[in-house]
Structure 1
Amino acid sequence: MSNLYKEDEELYTVGQFAKKAGVTIRTLRFYDKINLLKPSNYNELGYRLYNKQNFGRLQKILTLKFIGLSLEEIGDIMKYDIDDKDFKKSLNIQKKIIEEKIDHMSNVLKAIDETLIMVQKEDNLNWDKFVNVINLINMDNKWIEQYKNASNLRARINIHEKFSSNKEGWMPWYFTKLDIAKGAKILELGCGDGSLWLKNIEKVHESWNITLTDFSQGMLNDTRNNLEKWENRFNFAVVDAHDLPYSDGSFDIVIANHMLYHLGDLNKALSEVKRVLKTGGQFYASTVGKNHMKEMRDIIAQVDKNLLNMEGFTRTENFQLENGEDILKNWFRDIVINRYEDSLMVTESSALMDYIFSMPGNIKNNFSKEKFNKLEGKMKKIIKEKGSIYINKDTGFFKAIK
């Protein structure tokens, strides 16, 4: 934010901005005080000045407030917005949250209607109905969290799609390595947003019976939306990988794409994978190596090396390219590893910041504004001096046989 205004920028005084936006000056001053909406500039006398981008940020604040989020929750969502000019991204976020809120409120309304009918017709009240209403209301935080999960996954995928040196792309490359026969029954665990299939939809054989699963309903909703044109070619289910709801020997292929390290009990999940696979069936499990994104971690360590002890940076240690074979050989045979050669040349600090804050473990809550600015500053300096930030990737998969 500049201290003085630029001559060529159209700016508004706090009174002009308030009138044009239909809010009070008091509201704008309060939002400034709590760091929710800061002026873009100040004039020589120190008075607040707002630009057109501030209208976009204000619109987002008012939309999130309209659907019932507190100012604290709104601040948490917007705290690390790096580029307020990205209106498309902002509007998509708002749309997604509103859609989830509408679904949630519709379910609550349906439960209340059912309870009203029960109260009118029955002499003895069924208190389980009231408990059901309470449980539905308390799901409010869950749908927000599910949205965040899907949004975070997209942030992590985007950086690889935009800045990878290997232009084939992970999903197309991985797909070509899957040895799938005609008529195969396929199960994917942790399908995320369905990118593996969306990126390769023209290669999906009509004879395949494909079941896509995820632990998160929010993720599965994204998968359905992304594959809407081809929905009849897939089965969808919310599934816990620790307890698969399928019969023994149900599938020819099971795929776990960068998800095993997220599991609380990896051996329990692997025993389930083995159980639902047919004899001779194939298990494909992708993951990363210990040096994956090392240069990114080195930059973070310059700001605060203790941040690297957080879950988002250590979680993959549960199942990596270095230890994966030893883990899998307890359950499968003929284990083969395949590595994907790639690196990143990142030219936008905002994309890398989005990636970091999208990682598991709520990393952003452990970043003070000072650390945030310091990290962003280091990235911008490297990009200015070298043209990009080079980051090595170490990604691959294991193929194993039951």
Structure 2
Amino acid sequence: MDRRSAFAGGDQQYLRDVQYGTGAKLDARSYLHRTYATSAVPLAQFEAALIDWSGIRTALECGCGTGRFWDNDALSRSLSITLTDLSPGMVDEATHRVRELGFAGVVSEVCDVQALPFDDDAFDVVIANHMLYHVPDPDRAVAELARVVGRDGVVLVATNGHGHMREVNEAVAEVFGSHAEGLYEVFGIDTGEARLRERFERVVWHAFDNDLLVDDPAAVVAYGLSFPPGESATDAQRERFTQAVARRFEGGRLRIHTRAGVFVCSRPRRSP
């Protein structure tokens, strides 16, 4: 049974105007990952290092968020980058950030990944990070990624799976009774590969090992209140959630287990 929440592709207006109307809620989540990571490099740098950029001239990012993928000194500033997102707010923030990083050619467009306004074979690399689980029809979105990437190009897809951020989700469930149902059924580690193989001859999974070691309960609380149902918490629920998070700390720290990584996809299959 399809148990879509608004967060898991069930309400595109909510995603565009509420969840991603500005970068605030996304930043609350990315702050936790950036600040308390145990990995040697951030996910974006891990992901970028999976491919050879020497022959890449044109890049498309779908669901660009605030543009943090491009904050990487290893990437040539001569790249032509196209940033897209369903949210005008995200497109504006990402465009400003990526231009400030010094990239020579940055264009942007508000659009739906399920109907990209680009020609076939338009890009050398296409990136879709942590966004396909927000899409009503992920198969249609994957078909679009395969269509706009060049025949010798590559598509990078970062996603999570069941068990990701388990300790936070357990605290959310303790207070609110549930969290974003159906997210990884829509597109995750365990469901995404089959969807991608329908459109790419070669799909390789690269796990990203990065548990979080957190010493500030407030950062965990902010994370948990940045998505449904926590984002609509009453004052009483906020207090209960703060207490639930605090109980999970031992010796002033909380280890949060993650389950994330990147699919590297090549040799796109064309629709008949």
Question: If the TM-score is normalised by the length of the shorter chain, which range does it land in?
Answer: 0.7 to 0.9
Q: 1:387 to 1:324 in 2, by over 3 A?
A: same
**Runs of at least 4 residues off by over 6 Å:** 141-144
- Of residues 115, 124, 135, the one that matches 1:243 is 115
Aligned residue in 1 for 2:204: 336
Q: Take 1:206 and 1:351, find their aligned partners in 2: how far apart are those partners?
A: 33
Note the C-alpha offset of 1:233. 2.9
* Structure 1 CA distance for aligned equivalents of residues 263 and 62 of structure 2: 15
Q: TM-score, normalised by structure 2?
A: 0.85
Matched with 1:378 is 244
Give 1 or 2: higher helix fraction: 1
Q: Secondary structure at the match of 2:114?
A: coil
Tell me the equivalent position of 2:62.
Answer: 189
In structure 2, the partner of 1:225 is 96
Matches within 5 A, 1:81-92: none
Deviations 1:185-241 (A, max 9, x none): 21110111110102x0x2222443221111111011111222343253322221211
**Separation in structure 1 between the aligned mates of residue 187 and residue 20 of structure 2, nearest angstrom:** 26
- Unpaired runs of 5+ residues, structure 1, are 1-140
CA contact (8 A) 1:224 1:231 kept: no
In 1, the alpha carbon distance for the partners of 2:169 and 2:141 equals 30
Partner residue of 1:351? 219
**Does the 8 A contact of 2:19 with 2:25 survive in 1?**
no
Please state whether the residue corresponding to 1:292 is helix, strand or coil: coil
CA distance in 2, matches of 1:288, 1:146: 18
Alignment partner, residue 307 of structure 1? 178
Q: Is the 8 A contact 2:21 2:87 kept in 1?
A: no
> How has the CA–CA distance of structure 1 residues 274 and 142 changed in structure 2, closer, same or farther, with 3 Å as cutoff?
closer
Counterpart of 1:394 in structure 2 is: 259
Structure 1: distance between partners of 2:95 and 2:265: 29
Greater radius of gyration (CA) = 1
C-alpha separation between the residues in 1 aligned to 2:56 and 2:178? 48
Q: How far off is 1:147 after superposition? A: 6.7
CA contact (8 A) 2:125 2:153 kept: yes
Residue 206 and residue 377 in structure 1: after superposition, are their counterparts in 2 closer, same or farther (change >3 A)?
A: closer
Q: Name the CA distance, whole Å, in 2 between partners of 1:143 and 1:160.
A: 23
> What residue in structure 1 maps to residue 3 of structure 2?
none
* C-alpha distance in structure 2 between counterparts of 1:223 and 1:336, whole Å: 28
- What residue identity is the alignment partner of 1:377? Q
- Once residues 128 and 20 of structure 2 are traced to their aligned partners in structure 1, the CA distance between those partners, rounded to angstroms, is 21
| Unaligned residue ranges in structure 2 (runs of 5+) | 1-13
Q: Which of 193, 215, 223 pairs up with 1:325? A: 193
C-alpha separation in 2, matches of 1:345 and 1:397: 22
Tell me, in whole angstroms, the C-alpha distance in 2 between the residues paired with 1:296 and 1:270. Answer: 30
1:183, 1:207 within 8 Å by CA — same for their partners in 2? no
- Within 5 A, what are the aligned runs for 1:108-147? 145=18
Which amino acid is the alignment partner of residue 162 of structure 1?
T
Structure 1 residue 153 corresponds to structure 2 residue 26: yes
Amino acid at match of 1:299: A
CA distance in 2, matches of 1:392, 1:297: 11
Instruction: Report what 1:175 is aligned to.
Output: 48
Other structure's SS at 1:242 match = helix
Partner amino acid, structure 2, of 1:380: A
Q: Tell me: higher relative CO, structure 1 or 2? Use CA pairs within 8 A at least 6 residues apart.
A: 2
Structure whose residues are more often strand by fraction: 2
Which TM-score applies when normalising by structure 1?
A: 0.59
| 1:210 paired to 2:77 | no
Matched, 1:281 2:146: no
Q: Are the structure 2 counterparts of residues 356 and 313 from structure 1 closer, same or farther at C-alpha, using a change threshold of 3 Å?
A: farther
Q: CA deviation at 1:148?
A: 4.5
Post-superposition offset of 1:144:
6.9
Q: Does 1:364 align with 2:231?
A: yes
Structure-2 separation of matches of 1:318 and 1:395? 15
Secondary structure at the residue paired with 1:177? Answer: coil
Alpha-carbon spacing, 1:144–1:244, altered in 2? closer, same or farther (3 Å): closer
What's the Cα RMSD here?
A: 2.3
